[in-house]
Amino acid sequence: MRITVICENTVGRRIGLGEHGFSALIETDQGNYLFDTGSGHSVVKNSLELNKDLRTIKKIFLSHGHYDHTGGLPEVLKLRGKVDVHAHPHVFLDRVHVIEENEKETKRFVGLPYKRKYLESLGANFIFNKNFIEVEKGVFLTGEVPRKTSFEKPDPVLFAEIDGKINQDVFSDDQSLILDTNKGLILVLGCAHSGMINIINYVIHKTGKEKFYAILGGTHLDFLTPEQLEESVKALKKTKIEKIGVCHCTGMRAAFRLHQEFGDRFFYGSVGSILEI
């Protein structure tokens, strides 16, 4: 099995294009899967440069409805044609990022930038899940993750509209992918808006397994206070993790902190990074 980072904020192997977003291609004996699609600028270009054929993908999984994980859907669908796209029903919520700059409030749309009908016309067959499910043999999606830790809080600048009301985005749709391998679980995160530790604890609870061969993807750790980050690091150190390949919304501060803690077991999951077992 091989997981290759196709889209990410940074370029690591002098190959491809960096963009704000995340996408990973998972190649297995039973088929290839695409987890997220980046924001749309690099998914096709990078897959070609990395010698990956997106026409081979069996299923697409969406971690949540942010543009930087879903914006590449049309480009992938134009190549692939009819394909199952697994996501939580809230993936289509209208979402905004609100920032205050120079005492002025700026709102930016950050939701999935395309209508469901348009994506379906390109071949997307949406299959929605809210619960933990096995989508293929040994391949699981978490569905909604219960928020249990006290230190993982929702990002205060992200909002969503539900039934005409704009509220802080609680990201019910945030889900992660799990591959059950003979070396342990591989957990692939989109943005970990549910909280990385909440996700890990839920995966342990649902699978009954606690050994992670690898954790890869966006952790959103940079949006926590230094104290919250330390709580997360403390919890990670108690978890059996062989390799940790963070990237995207992890941020440099948190990535450096994890490198310090995990040493050789740490890698940065930039474009072209490969995890092989």
**Chain residues that interact with Fe ion, rule: CB under 5 A:** 66, 68, 191, 249
Provide the 8-state DSSP code for 114: S
CB 218, min distance to Fe ion, A: 5
Nearest approach, Cβ of 107 to Fe ion (angstroms)?
16
The nearer residue to Fe ion, 16 or 111, going by C-beta atoms, is 111
90 or 213: CB nearest Fe ion: 90
Q: Which is nearer to Fe ion, 66 or 243 (CB)?
A: 66
- Listing DSSP states for 183-241 in one string gives TEEEEEESS-TT-HHHHHHHHHHHHS--EEEEEEEE--GGGS-HHHHHHHHHHHHHSEE
Rounded Cα–Cα distance for residues 176 and 192 (Å): 8
d(CA 160, CA 265): 36
Min. distance of Cβ 189 from Fe ion in angstroms? 10
Nearest-approach distance from CB 223 to Fe ion, in angstroms? 10
* Pairwise CA distance, residues 170 & 160, whole Å: 8
Which residues, other chains included, contact 98 with Cβ-Cβ below 8 Å and sequence gap of 6+?
105, 106, 107, 108, 157, 158, 159
Q: What are phi and psi of 230, to 5 degrees?
A: -65, -35
Closest to Fe ion by CB, 192 vs 200, is: 192
Amino acid in position 176: S
CB of 188 to Fe ion, least distance (A): 13
Measured from the CB atom, the residue of 68 and 75 that comes closer to Fe ion is 68
Q: Which residue is nearest to Fe ion (CB)?
A: 191
Which ranges in the chain belong to alpha helices (H)? 43-49, 67-70, 73-80, 116-121, 196-207, 226-238, 252-262
Nearer to Fe ion, 68 or 152 (CB): 68
Q: What b/e sequence results for 165-189 when a residue is b if at least 16 CB atoms lie within 10 Å of its CB, and e otherwise?
A: eeeebbbbbbbbbbbeeeebbbbbb
Nearest distance from residue 249's CB to Fe ion, in Å? Answer: 5
Nearest distance in Å: CB 155, Fe ion: 8
Comparison of 184 and 193: residue with beta carbon closer to Fe ion: 193
